[in-house]
Each structure stands twice: as C-alpha cells, then as structure tokens.
Amino acid sequence: MNESRNVLEAPGATAGRAVGLVFRRQATAALRDPGPHFVLPALPALLMTVVFTALFDRIGDAPGYDAGGLDRSHAGGYDAFLIPGVVMLVALLGAGATSASLAADLRSGYFERLRLLGARPGTHLTGRLLFEAVRLLPGTAVVLGVGLVFGGDNRNGIVGLALVTMLVAMLGMAYSGVFYTVAIRTTDPQTPFQLQPLGLPLAFLSTALVPLGVMPGWAETIARWNPVSPVVDASRQALTGDPWAGELPGAVALLAGIIVATHALASLTLRRRLAGS
C-alpha cells in the first residue's frame, strides 16, 4: 500500500535514476550484441592504425616533410606522431551506435510508452550519451595497445594513456549528439551506418594523420578550423609531450562545449518532434 501512494506522488523517477536506467538498457543490449557496438567501431581505426604505421612512416622521407613540424629526431618518428591522432578515429568512425536504438524506439511505439512514464525525454539522450563514452573504451584500448606495439611513443606512461582515452571518450560523446539529431529526424535505425563516412573528412582534414605543413593549401585551411585538430594536438601532447601544457585544458573545454551544444540540439529536436503531435 505504501508503494501505491508513492507512485501517485512521485513524479516519475528522479533524473539520476532515470539516466541510470537508460544507461543500463543500452549496456545490456550492447553486451548481448557486442559486434556492432564494440568491435565494429574499433575495426576501421584499428586497421588504419596498422596500415598507416606499417606503410606511411616512409612519408617522413618525403622532401619538405620536416617543415610540418614532425619530430624526426625522436625514435619512432612518424609512428609516434600518428598514434595519438589515429586513435581519434575510434570516436570519429565508431561513435553513434546508440542512435540506432533511439531511432527504432521512436519509429515503433516504444518511445510513446516511455514518454508516459514521467521521466523527461532528455533522459533518454543523456543515458545514451554516457554509454557512448563507455562503449568506445575497449576499442581505444586496443588501438592504443596495437599502436604502441607498432612503434608509438609512450613516454608519459599511464597518465598519458588515461588522458588520451578521456579525450577519445569526450570526442565520442560530442560527435554522438549529431547522430542523435539525425536519428530523431529520420527515425532510421541505419543512421550510424549512413553517417559513418562523415567521420573520414573529420579525421583526415585535421592534424590527426599528417602535419599541417604537408597538406595542400585548401586542406590545411580546413584542418586549422577543424575542432578535431586541437583535440589531436592535446592528445599528442599527452602521449609524447608535456601533458599539462596549455592544449589539454583548451581541448577539454572545447569538447565540453561541443558536447553541450550537440546534446542541446538533439534535445531540442526531440522536444519539437514530441510536441508536433
């Protein structure tokens, strides 16, 4: 009898518990179907890590390459340069898987049912976002591990690795907001696949793979403005430079801002969609 009174008086679950429930639901589904959630996102990044570290360190031999700021005196050369950048591909080519279930819930009647339960609709975005961060961790670990085996530099030890992992997770969260917005508008469960190619220009037209000086003019201009670049720079500093230098707080602040912005956009899109009926 106590419980029946509580249900009428309590305005649905508290925000914290609701977010936790959404997170758990995503986690359960992901663990049941680990391929698309954990393995697939890491695969392109992993392959590119292997391929680029194996093949493209020769690019250091190209005339004019030094101008790009590549520290060739350091052991590992291009590989050391590459790893902190290519790991960002885990986020750029792997984020957004949770948008599929969001689209599916909206397309079926499931979201309508959840709407009636009292938790704010935004909860379903926040819970998913937090899971995105967690979801990318295994892939990040594998890419970093493989990359270091192939010759990356890890002079800052565990601190560097932890900071880079944090940056990947935050980048994943920031980027996922874009997926959510599209998923809400199209209710297409294929959204993660449809948007995946977008990650390529985001990755290539940044400082992730090659130094700025090596790119053609137009590419360099884009890379300077690409928000991924400062994140990559901070990642590079974390692994091979001074982790606490200015780039890190700047990158974290930038990512936090983007997370808030894309999340807000997604929430707004969701609210507009729900109000439309």
- Binding-site ranges for another protein (CB under 8 A): 3-8, 10-13, 17-18, 21, 24-25, 28-29, 32-33, 35, 40, 43-44, 47-48, 50-51, 54-56, 58-59, 61-65, 105, 108-110, 112-119, 190, 193-194, 197, 200-201, 204-205, 209-210, 214-216, 218-219, 277
* Residue 181 CB, nearest approach to another protein (Å): 17
Instruction: Name the one residue in this structure whose structure tokens are 């899109």.
Output: 269
**Is the CB of 127 or the CB of 230 nearer to another protein?**
127
Backbone angles phi and psi of 228, in degrees to 5: -65, -35
Q: Which residues contact 73 (CB under 8 A, 6 or more apart)?
A: none
**Is the CB of 40 or the CB of 141 nearer to another protein?**
40
**Is the CB of 17 or the CB of 155 nearer to another protein?**
17
* Residue 135 CB, nearest approach to another protein (Å): 16
Structure tokens at 136: 């990318």
* Residue 242 CB, nearest approach to another protein (Å): 26
Torsion angle (degrees, nearest 10) of CA 47, 52, 54, 56: 160
**Is the CB of 84 or the CB of 243 nearer to another protein?**
84
**Is the CB of 70 or the CB of 248 nearer to another protein?**
70
* Residue 109 CB, nearest approach to another protein (Å): 4
DSSP 37: I
What single string gives the DSSP state of each residue in 51-95? HHHHHGGGGGGSTT-GGGT--TTSTTTHHHHHHHHHTHHHHHTTT
Distances from the Cα of 225 to the Cα of 69, 248, 260, angstroms: 18, 17, 19
